[in-house]
Chain A
Amino acid sequence: MSGVIDPREPVLTVEHLSMRFGGLLAVNDLSFEVRRGDITALIGPNGAGKTTVFNCITGFYKPTEGRLTLAHADGARHLLERLPNHAVNRRARVARTFQNIRLFSGMTVLENLLVAQHAPLMRASGFTVLGLLGLGGYRAAERAAIERARLWLDRIGLTPRADDPAGDLPYGAQRRLEIARAMCTEPVLLCLDEPAAGLNPRESAELTELLRRIRADGTSVLLIEHDMSVVMEISDHVVVLDYGVKIADGTPGAVRTDPRVVAAYLGVEDEEVEAVEAEVGLVLPSAGAEA
C-alpha cells in the first residue's frame, strides 16, 4: 500500500460520490479533493447535501456509489466507504464534529478529552487487565494522555474547568471542547460541521484562530460552514454544493464571484436564475435532466 510520498497528494479524494435515500438523490456524482494541509470549506444552501457528504466520509452512511480515499502522509491509503464506524477514526484517522453539540455531557471536560484517546490507552493497558494491575506501560500511557488533554485544554482556554461536567460549560466553550476532543484522536483529517453556528463574533474569531493553529500543526480540515466571513477568511479552497451537485470549486475569491454560487445563495426564483445565467452567458443542466 505504500508508495512514493507526494506532499501535495490530496489527503481526501472523493470520486463520483452518490447517495440515494429512496427516491431522493441527496448527493449526485460528486468529486472533489481535500489537499493536505489545507482548510477546505464545503458550502451551499440548506439541504444541499453537505452533511450527507460528511456522513459518507465518516462511515455513518454507506454511499450508493463512489469512492472515498484517504491518504496518509506515509502513503497508506484507506477506502473510507469500506471501513466500519470506529475504524474511520482509529485507522484512517478521520475525526468529526456535528452541527449539534455531542459532548459526553455527564463526563468531565478532562474525561471527554481522555475518551478520545481510548484506543492507545486500551492497547497500553492490555485491554484493562494489565492496567488494573498497574503493568504494561499503562501508567506512562495514561500520563501521556492526560498531558495531551492538558495541552488542548490550555489551547482552548478551559484548563480551570477541567473537572467540571462538560454539560455545564457555556455554548461557545462546548464548541471548542468538541474540536479539542476530535483533535485528541490525532486525526489527519478533521471534519467540522458548522463549527461557528451560534457563536458570537468574539467566539468566532477565537474559532478561526484555533483552526489556523490546527492547520499549522499539520492537520487538514474539511469544514461545513454557513458563516461566510469565517469561510472567506480561513479557507484555502472552497467547494460549493447545491441540490447534491457541485456547482463550483476553487479559491474563496473565485467562488465568491461565481454567478452560479451567487444565484444559489441569493435563493432567487427559477426564472430569475435563468435570467442571471443568461446574463452571464451560462447554461446549466436542469435538475430534471441530471436525476
Chain B
Amino acid sequence: MDVFVQQLINGLTLGAIYGLIAIGYTMVFGIIGMVNFAHGDVFMVSTFIALIGFLILTTWLGVASVAVALLIVLIITMPLTALWGWAIERVAYRPLRGSFRLAPLISAIGVSIFLSNFVQVAQGARNKPTPPMLNGGFTLFERDGYAVTLSYKQCLIMIVTVLLLAGFWYLVQRTAFGRAQRACEQDRRMAALLGIDVDRTISLTFVLGAALAAVAGVLYLLYYGVVSFSDGFVPGVKAFTAAVLGGIGSLPGAVLGGLIIGLIETFWSAYFSIEYKDVAAFSILAIVLIFMPSGILGRAEVEKV
C-alpha cells in the first residue's frame, strides 16, 4: 500500500509532464492533421532555455530565492520557446501546406534532427546538471520504516499543471480564439469563409503547443535536475504515445494519456523491472489501440457522404 501510494504520486508527476507535451502534439494534429515530430525537440530546447536562464539568474544576477528564479525562468522560457514553435511552423511547415501529406512530416523529422544537433553543437554533448533545488517535501505517512513522501517539486509540478490546464481549457472553450481554433479543426475552408485567418490560427496553435512544452521543460529540469540534447526524443515519443492513447485530437485525451503512460511506467519500474518500463508502456498502447482504434477519448472519424 505504501509503495503503491508513493508510485502513484511519482507516476502522476511524470504523467503531468507527458500530458503537457502531449497537448502540443494533439492540438497540431487536430488542426492540420500532421504529427509534429519536432515537438519533442522543442521541449528539449525549452529545457536548455530554462537551464541557461536559471544559471544566469542564480549565478550572475545573484537571485537568491529559488522560487523567484523559477518563476522568472518560467516567464521567459514560455515566450522564447513559443517563438521557436512559431518560427518552425513558419519556415518548415507553412510553405508545404497544400503539398502532399508526407511532406510536412518529413520536414518535421528534419526540424527534429536540426534542433537536437544544433543544441548538441551549441551546448555540448554532455549532460548538463543543475544545482539541486526545492529539496525536501511532506511526509504523508510512515509505516514499517517506509515513508511515503510528496516532494515540493512534485507538489509544484502538479499545481502548475492543474492551473495551466484549467487556463488552457478556458482559452479553448470560452474565448474567440478557442472557438476559431475548434472551427479550424473541423473545417478549415469553412472557417476561412467566415473571416477567420486560418494561417494565423495555425500559427497560434503552434505557439500555444510550444508554450505548454516550455512549461513541461521547466518542470522536467526541476524534477530531474539534468538535461541533455537528446532529451527531446524519448519524452517526445512518450508524449506522442500519450496523445495517441488518449485519442489524438482530443485535449482531455492527451492529458489522460499522459497520466496513464506516466503511471504505467512508474508502476512497472517499481513492481517489475525498470529496464522494461518502455516496453510495458508501448505494449499497453498497442493493446489499447487494437480494441479502441481511435484512442480512449478519440472520436471515430465519420466521413459523411
Contacts and interface: CB of A to CB of B under 8 A. Distances in A.
Interface of A: 58-60, 85-86, 88-90, 95-96, 98, 100, 102, 104-107, 111, 114-116, 118-119, 121-122, 125, 127-128, 131-132, 142, 181-182, 185
B206 to A, nearest CB: 15
Contacts of A142: 176
Given A115-B196, A119-B195, A185-B195, A125 B175 contact: yes
A90 B193 CA distance: 8
23 contacts: A59-B192, A60-B189, A86-B192, A86-B197, A96-B193, A104-B187, A106-B186, A107-B186, A114-B176, A114-B179, A115-B180, A115-B183, A115-B191, A115-B196, A116-B194, A116-B195, A118-B176, A118-B180, A119-B195, A125-B177, A128-B171, A128-B176, A131-B175
A128 B194 contact: no
Nearest to A119: B195
Contacts of B182: 104, 106-107
A181 B194 CA distance: 8
A125 B193 contact: no
A58 B192 CA distance: 10
B96 to A, nearest CB: 18
B176 A104 contact: no
A56 to B, nearest CB: 13
Interface in B137-186: 171, 175-177, 179-180, 182-183, 186
Nearest to B186: A104
B190 interface: yes
Contacts of B192: 59, 85-86, 89
Closest 7 A/B residue pairs (Cβ):
A121-B176, A90-B195, A89-B195, A85-B192, A128-B177, A86-B192, A119-B195
Given A60-B189, A105-B186, A89 B194 contact: yes
B198 interface: yes
Contact of A104 (B171, B175, B190, B193): B190
Contacts of B198: 85-86
Contacts, number: 80
Contacts of B187: 102, 104
Chief secondary structure at chain B's binding surface = helix
A21 B195 CA distance: 27
* Best-buried of B180, B189, B196 by chain A (most CB within 10 Å): B196
B208 to A, nearest CB: 10
A58 B193 contact: yes
A85 B175 CA distance: 23
A43 to B, nearest CB: 22
B284 to A, nearest CB: 28
A105 B54 CA distance: 46
A118 B175 contact: no
Contacts of B180: 115, 118, 122
A138 to B, nearest CB: 8
A181 B195 CA distance: 12
Contacts of B196: 86, 115, 118-119
Contact of B175 (A95, A96, A116, A128): A128
Interface in B264-305: 304
B193 A95 contact: yes
Interface residues of B, number: 21
Contacts of B179: 107, 111, 114-115, 118
Nearest to A116: B194
> Which of A60, A102, A104, A107: most chain B Cβ within 10 A?
A104
Contacts of A90: 195, 197
A181 B180 CA distance: 14
Contacts of A127: 177
Interface string B183-226: 10011011111111110000000000000000000000000000
A89 to B, nearest CB: 4
Given A104-B182, A107-B179, A131-B176, 13 more contacts: A59-B192, A86-B193, A86-B195, A86-B198, A89-B192, A89-B195, A90-B197, A98-B190, A107-B183, A122-B180, A128-B171, A128-B175, A185-B195
A267 B131 CA distance: 84
A223 B110 CA distance: 48
A106 B304 CA distance: 14
Nearest to B197: A86
Contacts of A105: 186
Contacts of A111: 179
Contacts of B171: 128, 132
Interface string B65-98: 0000000000000000000000000000000000
Nearest to B173: A111
A279 to B, nearest CB: 43
Contacts of B175: 125, 128, 131-132
Contacts of A125: 175-177
A118 B193 contact: no
A260 B112 CA distance: 62
Contacts of B197: 86, 90
Contact of B177 (A60, A122, A182): A122
A85 B194 CA distance: 9
B190 A118 contact: no
Nearest to A186: B195
A128 B198 CA distance: 16
A184 B43 CA distance: 40
Most buried by B among A96, A119, A182: A119
A168 to B, nearest CB: 14
